[in-house]
Structure 1
Amino acid sequence: MDESILLRRDLTVPFPEPVWPEGIMPVLFSQSMLEELHTLLSIGYTKLQGDVPSLEVWQNRLLSDPEFDAELLFVAQAANGALVGFAHCWNSGFLKDIVVHPDWRGIGIGEALVLRVFEACRNRYHKQCELKVKPANIDAVRFYKKLGFMKVPS
């Protein structure tokens, strides 16, 4: 099985402000979104990123995790009200999940979400943001490197 690699982004190096694509806006997370976010995660993640547990298991793990902070769950919503992407960052500055619905990829939602994570981490005095990705997930690795993430030597 493919082991994940650790990537790190230095937050002391400048990064641009998030730019949201037309018709997409950031919205505050609320627990009423959990079912739709779980569905989005299930649709958006492939076997390259890992399995998504049932809604009940995922929700319980998320809300009981000591690293969880609702202010670090960033949601992108389309003009029609659909939730089309989200990024979930832990208190420690670790980007736990990011997903954009496949029909909405390639227009900048993922980049805007990650840049929003960078802002939040920097505002909490983190000097870096980390994440793990499977090396076989070539598109994700390319995306993260474009945003300044670098592989952490083992």
Structure 2
Amino acid sequence: MRRDLAEAVPDIAWPTGIQLTQYRTELAAAVHHLMELGYRDGGGRVPALTLWQRQFETDPEYDPSLCFIALDVNGIVAVCQCWTSAYIKNLVVHPRVRRQGLGRALLLHAFKVFQQRREGFVDLKVLEDNLRARRLYDSVGMYAVRREPVPV
């Protein structure tokens, strides 16, 4: 899916008690754990922590300032991991804080950051049967640009 960044991005309404930070090595285990939790019901998978961290931190498109992490009083509750190519690699929200607008807020934040970087579009991939995610992406102005078969 794609979001045209020439279009205005709405103001961000952050849920109460949320603090935004960026990725740091000392947060790797907690970020990894949230990704495992988020993908437990399907839609993706995450390699073991050591491999995931090495792949993530050495990727040519890695920039820690593009990995947005939302925290509340209990720890990390959401991650929006983006690449320098204006691509959203992962968006995961902890089940206990879903349906509070956090995923939407992180997406809008990413759009604004990429607008500041003078990108034209932001892209991501989503499985066609992930209706909850697709509804979220539709609600922030994203649209389908290409369909790819899912390997079985």
The alpha carbon displacement at 1:153 in A equals 3.8
1:17 to 5, 11, 14: 11
Q: Distance in 1 between matches of 2:42 and 2:74?
A: 29
Is there any run of 5+ residues in structure 1 with no aligned partner, and where?
Answer: 1-6
Q: In structure 2, do the counterparts of structure 1 residues 136 and 119 end up closer, same or farther at CA, with 3 Å as the change threshold?
A: same
Match in the other structure for 2:109:
116
Within the candidate set 29, 45, 57, 2:23 is matched to 29
Shift of 1:18: 1.9
Do structure 1's residue 40 and structure 2's residue 34 form an aligned pair? Answer: yes
Deviations 1:30-52 (A, max 9, x none): 11100000000000114532111
Q: After the TM superposition, which segments of 4 or more aligned residues of structure 1 sit over 4 Å from their partners?
A: none
In structure 2, the residue matched to 1:88 is 81
Checking the alignment, whether the CA contact within 8 Å between 2:87 and 2:122 is kept in structure 1 is: yes
What is aligned with 2:65? Answer: 71
User: CA RMSD for the aligned pairs?
Assistant: 1.2
Q: Please say if residues 20 and 108 of structure 1, whose CA atoms lie closer than 8 Å, have aligned partners that are also in contact.
A: yes
Structure 2 distance, partners of 1:121, 1:46, is 29
Match of 2:136 among 143, 146, 149: 143
| CA shift for structure 1 position 94 | 0.4
Letter paired with 1:115: L
Consecutive unaligned residues of structure 2, counting only runs of 5 or more, are: 148-152
Deviation, structure 1 residue 102: 0.6
Aligned AA (2:90): D
TM-score by length of 1: 0.91
Task: Pick 1 or 2: higher relative contact order, CA cutoff 8 A, min separation 6.
Answer: 1
Question: The residue matched to 1:18 in structure 2 has which SS?
Answer: coil
Partner amino acid for 1:11? L
User: What is the percentage of aligned positions where both structures have the same residue?
Assistant: 35
Q: Provide the TM-score with structure 2 as the length reference.
A: 0.92
Q: Is the 8 A contact 1:48 1:136 kept in 2?
A: no
